[in-house]
Amino acid sequence: MVVKSQIKFIKNLQQKKYRTQNKLFVVEGIKTVKELLESTLKVHKIYVTDSTVLGLNNDFVELISEGDLRKMSGLSTPNKVLGVFHFPVPRQIDFSDWVIALDDVRDPGNMGTIIRLCDWFGITNLICSPNTVDCYNPKVLQATMGSISRVNIVYGDLQQVLGEIDIPVYGAFMDGTVVYTEQFPKKGVLVMGNEANGVSEAIENLVCKKISIPQFGAKTAESLNVATATAILLNEIRRG
């Protein structure tokens, strides 16, 4: 049986404050939990409402009632399995390949999609400004699928990091050079800005090359979403 304090503890992990304090995060759903169990992430606890789903032969798997799962879940319709995992220890950013830098990306869906894109395009390092949405936010995790375990995500002072490196810093801007004419080097940083305001002025000053995705047809659209722009730019960098 799960005690009340345990339910409260898990429920609290829906909030960034408690996640950061405990260095633990929650994922829900059979598929993602199974994928993370097979990853390098360290598991803290798994709760299941159906013993046939995962097997109970592990110390960290506990059978609970559907009522208790509902109480600890962040979903309106909980999905049989809830996993609690330890934060991975962030590694030092490796600048020997392309790195993505996020300057205050706030939408969890965008963040999740970008992490999944990094995984697809073999980008293993993602730097995020402190105001970028928390990568362990449940809505981020829902959009990343298992990719969260394969991308090294580091939060830090972008201005300091970008100021210290000696590889080219590219940035996505509405008024940059058309990306199709660009010959990308083997390594670099690509900065993607905030949904409403784009790249901040402080970071813009550190960008050595502004790039842009051209608009076609009647040119009536106002902008591209930051996640779809990242998809297109990563594809441009990798296609060569």
What mask of x and - would describe binding to a copy of itself in positions 68 to 107, judged by CB under 8 A? Answer: ----------------------------------------
DSSP H or E stretch at residue 70: helix 66-72
Residue 228 contacts a copy of itself per CB under 8 A: yes
- For a copy of itself, the closer of residues 206 and 226 by Cβ is 226
Residue 21 contacts a copy of itself per CB under 8 A: no
Among 6, 22, 124, 142, interactor with a copy of itself by CB under 8 A: 124
In angstroms, give the least distance from the CB of 132 to a copy of itself.
Answer: 19
Residue 225 contacts a copy of itself per CB under 8 A: yes
Nearest Cα residue to 93 out of 203, 213, 7, 187: 187
Instruction: Please list every residue from 203 through 222 that binds a copy of itself, using CB under 8 A.
Output: 213-222
Rounded to whole angstroms, the Cα distance separating 42 from 48 reads 18
Residue type for 72, please?
Answer: M
Helix (H, G, I), strand (E, B) or coil at 84: strand
Residue 175 contacts a copy of itself per CB under 8 A: no
Among 90, 122, 163, 185, interactor with a copy of itself by CB under 8 A: 122
DSSP H or E stretch at residue 152: strand 152-155
Residue type for 46, please?
Answer: I
Beta-bridge mates of residue 85: 25, 43
DSSP class of 51? T
Return the range that interacts with a copy of itself (CB under 8 A); candidates 87-95, 117-125, 126-134, 161-169. 117-125
Residue 235 CA neighbour count, 13 Å, CB half: 8
Q: Quick check: 129 and 154 in contact, CB under 8 A?
A: no
Instruction: Please list every residue from 133 through 162 that binds a copy of itself, using CB under 8 A.
Output: 143, 145-147, 150
Residue 3 in tokens: 């005690």
Among 88, 109, 156, 176, interactor with a copy of itself by CB under 8 A: 109
DSSP class of 52? T
- For a copy of itself, the closer of residues 15 and 235 by Cβ is 235
Residues that bind a copy of itself (CB under 8 A): 109, 113, 116-117, 119-124, 143, 145-147, 150, 180, 213-222, 224-225, 227-229, 231-232, 235-236, 238-239
